[in-house]
């Protein structure tokens, strides 16, 4: 193993596997010898804030983040090449001392192969060439090692995980990555890295990088942008769990190629601040899960229109936020290309049964192909549209609309239901809700049926009067309101009496009259 870095103020160190930063080096009053004052990464590990017996030797962010230890208590540290050999190439002396033994372990395999003597060197070289992904996470790595050493050891490395190490500066990281001509992904999560003194001068060390992961590094968004000067062309950026609450628009020189951005687990409460990212030209996926968003709005865009913001966004993750109002979800239809949405875990989505919430979302967000990671079929979208029209139609009439889809409804109705008019023209007015439904000629064609769900015996049978002209697809919309149920697609069958033979409704657009449904017929609901 290489020589350990000399300990000085600012050095990252490890003691009993716990990491920290040296904040003080020197004597402590009424004691002998040299002490090291450490601010621990874990703010609860220490005993004080750098103050001992009334003397403030150093300062910590937490009242219990500091400790004094003796230098000899520090753990031994590793260079990146040393750590790579330790994990992927274990070399041990033979018992007779005559030769070395190479024990090689594949990253995704528990099988160990042993090579002895001259075979060792050639097998190490061969082994190193096959490694394209390596993780040195949670290892006490504090330096790059000799220039280009790690690149010689693993020349084809493409994915490198250096999360939770002892690296302290971006300059050290640059020493590691600069010789790696094939590196495309770098994970530096849970490191305490000083901001670069001159970010632009380090660009050459990250020129091949396409993914940067900086989870839980304690950076604000402005500090992220400062670091991004080193890798402005990244396509995938993860900056989750950093305490970020405010965003600002990146300069034009940054993120021109950014496609995926994760801001998960940051206390972002304002949608206005999210919109600061709305002009990123190639952004396709945005993760805002586990943030603190309470509302979503594009006030500059009229209902039914598309916003110029996030023009290429196709996937949005809003899981576990604090969205309260349905209007926030309706606003998402203003995103021109959104077809993949995750929104479960918000207060607005748990007020009704999951199946009902899903149907309403499918009806109001017309471009979706995936909702909460579940694919949307054509049949499910049609059933959702029918359900939505049946549910909202009375309000449409009340607010000034007509059964034919004409009229001028109130501005509030249009804001909350911008797609209703179009869906009404596709699926037609619910017959039961139509103003003409009370005419005698229709009344003469009403029948009374019993609707039963054998899988839900506690519900019992429900007697319902239906027009014989009702189609099967509209019957499904009625049944969905009577039996809200998550899961599989709805299946309907019928029998002309309680003991009669069951038959399947196999033509969605045919009427009940087509199937000879009459008074006393039973309709069975299954999932």
Looking up residue 37, the CATH number of its domain turns out to be 2.30.30.190
* Alpha carbons 215 and 174: distance in angstroms, whole number: 19
CB burial readout 375-413, b (16+ within 10 A) else e: ebeeebbbbbbbbbbbbbbeebbebebebebeeebeeeb
Beta pairing, strands 370-371 & 374-375: antiparallel
> 383: alpha, beta or left, given left = phi > 0 and alpha = psi -120 to 50?
alpha
Beta pairing, strands 260-262 & 285-287: parallel
Q: pLDDT-derived band of residue 37, with 50, 70 and 90 as boundaries?
A: very high
In this model, does residue 110 exceed pLDDT 90?
A: no
In this model, does residue 95 exceed pLDDT 80?
A: no
Report yes or no: 219 and 245 within 8 Å, Cβ to Cβ: no
Report yes or no: 333 and 364 within 8 Å, Cβ to Cβ: yes
* Domain housing 44: 12-73
Report yes or no: 511 and 471 within 8 Å, Cβ to Cβ: yes
Number of Cβ within 10 Å of residue 154's Cβ equals 25
Average pLDDT over residues 349-371: 92
* Alpha carbons 113 and 89: distance in angstroms, whole number: 10
- The residues near 385 (Cβ < 8 Å, ≥ 6 apart) are 362, 363, 423, 426, 427
Q: What is the pLDDT of residues 141-152, one digit of tens each?
A: 999 999 889 999
Number of Cβ within 10 Å of residue 438's Cβ equals 8
pLDDT of residue 459: 83
Report yes or no: 317 and 342 within 8 Å, Cβ to Cβ: yes
460 burial via Cβ count (<10 Å: 0-12, 13-18, 19+): exposed
User: Which H or E run contains 35?
Assistant: strand 35-40
Least confident of 157-161, 316-320, 466-470: 466-470
Report CA Rg, the chain.
33
Decide if 465 is inside a domain: yes
Looking up residue 471, the CATH number of its domain turns out to be 3.10.20.90
463 burial via Cβ count (<10 Å: 0-12, 13-18, 19+): exposed
Q: What is the pLDDT of residues 247-292, one digit of tens each?
A: 999 999 999 999 999 999 999 999 999 999 999 999 999 999 999 9
Q: pLDDT-derived band of residue 431, with 50, 70 and 90 as boundaries?
A: low
pLDDT of residue 190: 96
User: 26, 55, 73: which is the final residue of a domain?
Assistant: 73
Where do the H-state alpha helices sit in 181-332?
A: 221-228, 271-274, 326-330
Higher-confidence residue: 127 or 297?
A: 297
**Of the ranges 107-121, 209-223, 458-472, the best mean pLDDT one:** 209-223
Decide if 516 is inside a domain: yes
pLDDT of residue 106: 43
User: 30, 57, 73: which is the final residue of a domain?
Assistant: 73
User: 56, 73, 90: which is the final residue of a domain?
Assistant: 73
Decide if 111 is inside a domain: no
Average pLDDT over residues 410-427: 94
pLDDT of residue 519: 79
How high is the mean pLDDT of the chain?
Answer: 88
Place of tokens 């952004």: 283
Q: pLDDT-derived band of residue 433, with 50, 70 and 90 as boundaries?
A: very low
* Alpha carbons 200 and 221: distance in angstroms, whole number: 18
Average pLDDT over residues 283-310: 98
Q: Is the dihedral angle over the CA atoms 489, 495, 499, 501 positive or is it negative? A: negative
Question: What percentage of residues in the chain have a pLDDT greater than 90?
Answer: 68
* Alpha carbons 464 and 141: distance in angstroms, whole number: 72
Q: pLDDT-derived band of residue 4, with 50, 70 and 90 as boundaries?
A: low
Decide if 246 is inside a domain: no
Q: How far is CA 340 from CA 237, 335, 426, in A?
A: 19, 11, 24
Higher-confidence residue: 356 or 230?
A: 230
Longest dimension (CA), the chain: 106
Q: How many domains does the chain have?
A: 2
In this model, does residue 102 exceed pLDDT 70?
A: no
Beta strands in 460-507 (DSSP E): 462-467, 491-495, 503-504
Q: pLDDT-derived band of residue 117, with 50, 70 and 90 as boundaries?
A: very low
Decide if 194 is inside a domain: no
Q: Which of 352, 350, 346 is nearest to 316 (CA)?
A: 346
Question: What percentage of residues in the chain have a pLDDT greater than 70?
Answer: 88
* Alpha carbons 344 and 321: distance in angstroms, whole number: 9
Place of tokens 């309709």: 523
Q: How far is CA 246 from CA 173, 192, 401, in A?
A: 27, 21, 42
pTM for this structure? 0.77
Decide if 312 is inside a domain: no
Q: Which of 67, 9, 75, 74 is nearest to 38 (CA)?
A: 67
In this model, does residue 342 exceed pLDDT 80?
A: yes
Q: pLDDT-derived band of residue 99, with 50, 70 and 90 as boundaries?
A: very low
Number of Cβ within 10 Å of residue 123's Cβ equals 17
Beta strands in 259-299 (DSSP E): 260-262, 285-287
Number of Cβ within 10 Å of residue 313's Cβ equals 21
User: Which H or E run contains 425?
Assistant: helix 420-427
Alpha carbon dihedral 70, 72, 74, 79, in 10-degree steps, equals 140
- What's the distance, CA 473 to chain centroid? 36
Decide if 68 is inside a domain: yes
- Spatial strand order of the sheet with 66-69 comes to 12-15, 18-26, 35-40, 66-69
Bridge partner residues of 141 (DSSP): 78
Apex CA 44: angle with CA 41 and CA 45, to 5°?
Answer: 70
Decide if 358 is inside a domain: no
Higher-confidence residue: 489 or 178?
A: 178
Q: Which of 191, 235, 238, 189 is nearest to 209 (CA)?
A: 235
């Amino acid at each position: 193993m290489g020589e350990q870095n000399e300990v000085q103020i600012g050095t990252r160190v490890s003691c009993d596997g716990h990491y920290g930063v040296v904040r003080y080096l020197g004597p402590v009053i009424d004691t002998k010898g040299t002490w090291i004052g450490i601010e621990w990464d874990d703010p609860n590990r220490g005993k004080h804030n750098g103050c001992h017996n009334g003397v403030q030797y150093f300062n910590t962010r937490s009242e219990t983040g500091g400790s004094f230890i003796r230098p000899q208590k520090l753990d031994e540290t590793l260079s990146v090449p040393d750590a790579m050999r330790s994990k992927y190439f274990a070399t041990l002396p033979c018992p007779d001392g005559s030769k070395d033994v190479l024990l090689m372990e594949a990253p995704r395999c528990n099988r160990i192969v042993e090579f002895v003597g001259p075979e060792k060197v050639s097998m190490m070289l061969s082994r190193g060439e096959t490694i394209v992904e390596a993780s040195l996470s949670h290892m006490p790595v504090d330096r790059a090692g000799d220039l280009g050493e790690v690149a010689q050891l693993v020349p084809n490395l493409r994915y490198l995980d250096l999360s939770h190490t002892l690296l302290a500066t971006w300059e050290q990281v640059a020493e590691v990555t600069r010789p790696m001509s094939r590196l495309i992904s770098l994970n530096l999560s849970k490191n305490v890295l000083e901001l670069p003194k001159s970010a632009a001068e380090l660009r050459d060390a990250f020129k091949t990088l396409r993914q940067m992961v900086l989870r839980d590094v304690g950076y604000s968004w402005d500090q992220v942008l400062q670091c991004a000067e080193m890798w402005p062309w990244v396509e995938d950026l993860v900056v989750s769990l950093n305490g970020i609450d405010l965003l600002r628009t990146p300069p034009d020189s940054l993120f021109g190629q950014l496609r995926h951005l994760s801001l998960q687990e940051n206390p972002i409460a304002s949608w206005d601040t999210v919109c600061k990212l709305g002009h990123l030209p190639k952004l396709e996926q945005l993760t805002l899960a586990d943030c603190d968003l309470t509302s979503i709005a594009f006030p500059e865009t009229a209902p039914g229109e598309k916003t110029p913001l996030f023009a290429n966004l196709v996937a949005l993750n809003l899981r576990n936020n604090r969205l309260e109002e349905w209007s926030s979800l309706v606003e998402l239809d203003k995103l021109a290309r959104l077809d993949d949405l995750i929104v479960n875990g918000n207060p607005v989505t748990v007020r009704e049964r999951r199946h009902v919430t899903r149907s309403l979302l499918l009806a109001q967000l017309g471009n979706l192909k995936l909702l909460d990671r579940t694919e949307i079929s054509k049949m499910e979208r049609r059933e959702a549209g029918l359900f939505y029209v049946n549910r909202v139609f009375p309000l449409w009439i009340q607010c000034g609309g007509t059964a034919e889809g004409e009229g001028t409804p109130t501005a509030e109705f249009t804001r909350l239901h911008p797609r209703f008019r179009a869906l009404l023209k596709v699926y037609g007015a619910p017959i039961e809700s139509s103003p003409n439904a009370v005419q005698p000629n229709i009344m003469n064609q009403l029948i009374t049926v019993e609707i039963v769900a054998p899988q839900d015996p506690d519900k019992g049978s429900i007697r319902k009067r239906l027009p014989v002209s009702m189609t099967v697809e509209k019957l499904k919309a009625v049944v969905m309101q009577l039996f809200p149920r998550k899961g599989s697609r709805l299946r309907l069958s019928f029998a002309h009496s309680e003991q009669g033979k069951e038959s399947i409704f196999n033509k969605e657009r045919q009427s009940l009259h087509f199937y000879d449904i009459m008074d006393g017929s039973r309709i069975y609901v299954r999932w």
